[in-house]
Amino acid sequence: MIAICAVVGIAASAATLFAQEASTVSLSNGIELRVSVNLGPQTGQQTAKVEMAPASGNSVYRIFRDQNGMAVFAYELAVARSADGQQILLTTKPVEDEFAARFPNSDGGKPVPTMSSESQLEPLTSGRRVDIGLFELQGMGLKVVDSAQVRLFRGSGATSDIASSVLNRLRFLNLKVMINRTPASSAFSAGGAAGRFAMFFIPGRGGYFFSAEAVPDRAVFTKAGSIDGNHFTFTIDNDIYECTAAASILSQGGTGELWVYHDPGYQPAGNWTQEIPPPAGVQPGTQGFFTAASDTLSWWLR
């Protein structure tokens, strides 16, 4: 087990970090979040790996594990928009009972070390970054720091460059879904999401996961459809899906193939639609249709 102690201090910075591969996800409130970590030079005898997992529609868990897979630190990062929608508010929170229920025995039955209290960071504008001091690796002189960059998803007028190195990014903006030429119940998203992988959830039908290219390590994906501008179609389980968005589906525009995996039993982790008013007759808190995107399938699939 890696011994740790808390580091006090959260500050905005433009310093270059020697970071592991970043995790990027489009959240349900129209904000794209990219988080990387500086673990410093590791000795080889002791290593640390970082996992990012959904907490709710607009917050994520950051989990730090040692070489044995035990959690040595975790916290929740909530991402919200200001009342005027122009600034982005980040809040760090300690992990509590909900985290323990989601990730049982993460630290061999002991409580996972976490933040001492909730803290709201200085408001950011789109494209800015903030460094979050987390903990020290005792005896190694290393301070672990997360670097979070945020960007407002603005749809067709301004594509995000947080993960611009990925050419086959999918983009769902104001997506509408029809099944066998009939509008799917409540299947309209007034928001946007963009990433290497995208998905949508239809209540009663489960989750649909998409890639614009083959997914070698995921045999469950099949080439089931095609993309043409702001429209894509696919066929799964003898049902024909026609989907239309307010902007081109591929971030670079044009046409392409569509690889699809449908999980009819998929249930979202957290409440991904907590800030979206439910349709008439639907109780508040009920999961509704939503779209999301990420740079990694592990955000949704294990």
Domain final residue pick, 92, 127, 152: 152
Phi, psi values for residue 102, rounded to 5°: -75, -35
pLDDT along the chain (302 residues), means of 10: 38 34 74 82 63 83 88 93 87 92 85 93 92 76 84 54 55 90 74 84 91 89 95 95 93 90 83 46 59 81 74
| Gap between the Cα atoms of 7 and 135, Å rounded | 5
- Please tell me the predicted confidence (pLDDT) of residue 158: 39
Q: What is the pLDDT of residue 160?
A: 46
* Closest alpha carbon to 289 in 206, 196, 212, 211: 206
| Structure confidence at residue 207 (pLDDT) | 92
Q: Is residue 220 included in any domain, yes or no?
A: yes
The answer to whether 234 and 227 are in contact (CB under 8 A) is no
Determine the structural domain holding residue 104 and report its residue range. Answer: 4-152
Co-location of 195 and 259 in the same domain? yes
Choose the final residue of a domain: 117, 152, 187.
Answer: 152
Q: Residues 148, 184: one domain?
A: no
Task: Indicate if 172 and 213 belong to the same structural domain.
Answer: yes
Nearest-angstrom CA–CA distance, 3 and 140: 10
Nearest 5°: the CA angle 215, 200, 266 is 80
Tokens 């894509």 -> residue: 232
Pair 139, 12 in one domain: yes
Half-sphere exposure at residue 36, Cβ-oriented, CA atoms within 13 angstroms:
14
What integer pLDDT is reported at residue 46 of this predicted model? 55
Q: pLDDT, tens digit, for every residue of 206-246?
A: 999 999 999 988 889 999 999 999 999 999 999 999 999 98
Q: Which residue in this structure is represented by tokens 């489960």?
A: 206
143 and 247 housed in the same domain = no
DSSP letters for the chain: ---EEE---EE-------BPPPEEEE-TTSEEEEEEEE-----SSS-EEEEEEEEETTEEEEEEEETTS-EEEEEEEEEEE-TTSSSEEEEEEE--HHHHHHSTTTTTTSPPP--SS-EEPPPB-TT-EEEEEEEEETTTTEEEEEEEEEEE--GGGS---TTTT-TT-EEEES-EEEETTEEEEEEE-SSEEEESEEEEEETTTEEEEEESS--TT-TT-EEEEEEETTEEEEEETTEEEEEE-SS-SBTT-SEEEEEEEEETT---SS-TTTTSPPPTTPPTT----EEEEES-GGGT--
Residues 141 and 274 in one domain: no
pLDDT score, position 219: 87
Residue 267: how many other CB atoms lie within 10 Å: 10
pLDDT for 129 equals 93
Query: What integer pLDDT is reported at residue 50 of this predicted model?
Result: 87
Dihedral sign (CA 212, 214, 218, 219): positive
Residue 161 lies in a domain: no
61 and 201 inside one domain: no
Q: Are residues 147 and 206 in the same domain?
A: no
| Whole-model pTM over 0.75 | no
Number of domains in the chain: 2
Give the pLDDT of residue 144.
86
